[in-house]
Amino acid sequence: MTNTPTVAVFRPDDDRIERATDLLAELGAEPVPDPMLAVEATDAVPRTDADYVVFTSKTGAELIAAAGWEPTGETVCAIGPATADALRAEGYTVDLVPEEFTSSGLVAALSDAVDGARVEVARSDHGSPVLLDGLEEAGAYVHETILYRLVRPEGSGESARLAAAGDLDAACFTSSLTVDHFLEAAAEAGVRDATIAGLEDAVVGVIGEPTAETAAERGVDVDLVASEATFERLAAETVDAATDGE
């Protein structure tokens, strides 16, 4: 490692990649911004006959506001503080944020309350089945509305080529989909095996056990799961680990 570790970040190509890049620089890293997610809106809105409506991202909050969705007395739930802040910024009241900012955390927060209730889950097309399955097991009648699709942007993959060349010190994966898109980009460049080998010498940080499991299944060794499901915590802990590994 170097005094200034190169750290790949895969946030969507909007203000989130800019904020993530700035944060990594503040933490003393050399950011490698490589967006692996782009948003394609479906223009759908949540159903209006639910008792609970669950949102899992800032993007979802912005899209429902743009589409003119108005709550009709539902209990509005956000998966974490960033989503909750985005909902409030759009003028919505947030009734519940779980203690653990994950799908399983949402299930735990709602499981005692949703038996027999109608729960609307409004999110991307790549949401974890943990949320739907858990709510159904708790006795809820669950419906999912796809607000947007997540695709891999054209031109992505610089970080995969750096990893293959041994020039990447760390990577911050925020979801299973970022892992898959990263490896797809590596495959397109013809360096998938070399990229995975290069990551063995880097610090691989992830948000959430599902992301860690996906990475492991794809042959990527995970060094740490962020102690809190936020990018800020992931970035700080990944940079610390990369710096300590000098």
Same domain, residue pair 130 and 166: no
More confident residue, 12 or 162: 162
Q: And the tokens for 89?
A: 């910024």
Instruction: Compute CA 60 distance to the chain's CA centroid, rounded to the nearest angstrom.
Output: 12
Tell me, yes or no, whether 227 lies in a domain: yes
- Domain with 21 in it: what CATH number? 3.40.50.10090
CA distance linking residue 194 with residue 126, whole number of Å: 27
Computed over every residue of the chain, the mean pLDDT equals 94
pLDDT of residue 128: 83
Tell me, yes or no, whether 121 lies in a domain: yes
Tell me, yes or no, whether 53 lies in a domain: yes
Instruction: Catalogue the E-assigned strands of the chain.
Output: 6-9, 30-33, 38-41, 52-55, 75-78, 118-124, 141-151, 170-173, 203-206, 224-225
Neighbours of 46 (CB within 10 A): 24
Tell me, yes or no, whether 78 lies in a domain: yes
The 10s digit of each residue's pLDDT in 145-180 is 999 998 999 889 999 999 999 999 999 999 999 999
pLDDT of residue 244: 79
Tell me, yes or no, whether 1 lies in a domain: no
Same domain, residue pair 47 and 107: yes
CA distance linking residue 98 with residue 55, whole number of Å: 12
CA distance linking residue 16 with residue 3, whole number of Å: 25
Same domain, residue pair 81 and 142: yes
Same domain, residue pair 63 and 10: no
Residue 74 has pLDDT above 70, yes or no: yes
Q: What percent of the chain has pLDDT over 90?
A: 86
Same domain, residue pair 186 and 134: no
Domain holding 170, by residue range, is 6-37+154-245
pLDDT of residue 15: 86
Tell me, yes or no, whether 50 lies in a domain: yes
Same domain, residue pair 223 and 191: yes
Tell me, yes or no, whether 80 lies in a domain: yes
CA distance linking residue 182 with residue 195, whole number of Å: 10
Band the pLDDT of 245: cuts 50, 70, 90: low
Counting Cα atoms < 13 Å in the Cβ hemisphere of 6 gives 18
CA-atom Rg of the chain in angstroms? 19
pLDDT of residue 1: 44
CA distance linking residue 161 with residue 37, whole number of Å: 18
Show which of 151, 166, 198 is a domain's final residue.
Answer: 151
14-20 mean pLDDT:
91
Show which of 151, 172, 198 is a domain's final residue.
Answer: 151
Same domain, residue pair 57 and 145: yes
Backbone torsions φ then ψ of 143, nearest 5 degrees: -130, 140
For residue 148, the cross-strand partners are: 41, 124
Q: How many domains does the chain have?
A: 2
More confident residue, 102 or 77: 77
Show which of 151, 181, 196 is a domain's final residue.
Answer: 151
Tell me, yes or no, whether 235 lies in a domain: yes
How buried is residue 208: exposed, middle or buried, by Cβ count under 10 Å (0-12/13-18/19+)? Answer: buried
